[in-house]
Amino acid sequence: MITAIIIDDESNAREFLGKLLVRYFSKKIIVVETCDSVKAGVEAIKLHQPELVFLDIQMPQEKGFELFKYFNPIKFEVIFTTAYDKYAIEAIRLSAIDYLLKPINYVDLLSSINRLEKRKIKVNQQAKFELLLENLDSNNNAFNKVALPTQNGFELIKLNSIIYCKSDGNYCRVFCNNGKEFLISKTLKFVEELIENELFIRIHKTFLVNINYVVKFDKVDELKVTLTNGEQLPVSVRKKEHFLNAILHRN
């Protein structure tokens, strides 16, 4: 049985989520306390030592993210609940932490709980939340790091350290500017959607490239790019126009 706490300043939201959990997940999760603020949540967490916290992002006195400053290390899982704040959601997604959009429904709640149960090998909780706070504190709204799933957990990688990503069947290889290579246990399409950054351009069905590392585009004989590390990668005819627009129309 997973012990949980709900932190949300809206009483209707607390009550609704609590009823969902009782109705559909009473054999898996028990809510030991509900709280209307970060301050009350901190006290409840210290008292009950829950395994899971459902945490609202937008609250009047302290935002949900302030909760993490009261705990070191962080020993509980978190599922964020929010009705808006796209920027915060992007930071949460890149930090490999679950979130639910309000109004919460059974299907989304079930997916989050299933992911929680299947997470046998976990990245250090403290590292995940430090990554989240770092991404949130970014001044230019460009997230600093991304958590990429590997066979053993996650690799927390600075976005602009990635030179390119290469499809390898149902896996993806990530090549970084320090010479390191990571095998990601997801497809290139998944990694592309996860990163979703204007610096990363799909130049071929096999390659996703950080255009900061492109030094040359060759259209003689065959389409290809040369990277700062000397490697040459093919550009498909279908991707040529999109790639050229990306490198020629940057502000």
Which tops the pLDDT comparison, 149 or 32? 32
Domain that holds residue 11: 2-136
pLDDT for residue 97: 76
What is the structure's pLDDT at 227? 93
- For residues 185 and 126, membership in a common domain is answered with no
- Sequence-distant (6+) residues with CB within 8 A of 60 are 9
CATH of the domain at 50: 3.40.50.2300
Residue finishing a domain among 77, 106, 136: 136
Number of C-beta neighbours around residue 120 at 10 A: 6
pLDDT at 143 over 70: no
**Residue 197 sits in the same domain as residue 101:** no
pLDDT interval class at 99 (50, 70, 90): confident
Q: pLDDT tens digit string along 52-96?
A: 999 998 888 888 888 988 988 888 888 999 887 665 777 676 665
Q: What pLDDT does residue 121 have?
A: 47
**125 token code pair:** 């909780």
Beta strands in the chain (DSSP E): 2-7, 29-35, 52-56, 77-82, 98-101, 145-150, 153-158, 162-168, 171-176, 181-184, 200-202, 207-210, 214-218, 224-227, 232-234
CA 39 to chain centre: 26
| Residue 163 confidence class, pLDDT cut points 50, 70, 90 | very high
pLDDT of residue 188: 93
Query: CA-CA distance, 92 to 86, in Å (whole number)?
Result: 10
Q: How many CB atoms lie within 10 A of CB 153?
A: 17
Q: Which of 24-28, 120-124, 147-151, 240-244 has the lowest mean pLDDT?
A: 120-124
Question: In terms of domains, do 75 and 193 share one?
Answer: no
125 pLDDT more than 50? yes
Last residue of a domain, one of 112, 136, 160: 136
Report pLDDT digits (tens) over 110-124. Answer: 988 988 877 654 555
Q: What is the pLDDT of residue 83?
A: 83
Average pLDDT on 22-30 reads 93
Same domain, 15 and 80: yes
For residues 175 and 57, membership in a common domain is answered with: no
Q: 83 with 156, same domain?
A: no
User: Looking at the structure, do residues 152 and 129 belong to the same domain, yes or no?
Assistant: no
Using a pLDDT cut of 70, give the percent of the chain over it. Answer: 86
Please tell me whether residues 27 and 52 are part of one structural domain.
Answer: yes
Which residues, 6 or more positions from 226, have their beta carbon under 8 angstroms from its beta carbon?
A: 214, 215, 216, 217, 218, 232
Q: Is the domain of 175 the same as that of 207? A: yes
The pLDDT assigned to 92 comes to 75
pLDDT at 17 over 80: yes
Check residues 117 and 35 and name the one with the higher pLDDT.
35
How many structural domains compose the chain?
Answer: 2
pLDDT of residue 249: 67
CATH of the domain at 231: 2.40.50.1020
Mean pLDDT over the full length of the chain: 85
Residue 16 pLDDT: 95
pLDDT greater than 50 at residue 51? yes
Last residue of a domain, one of 136, 154, 177: 136
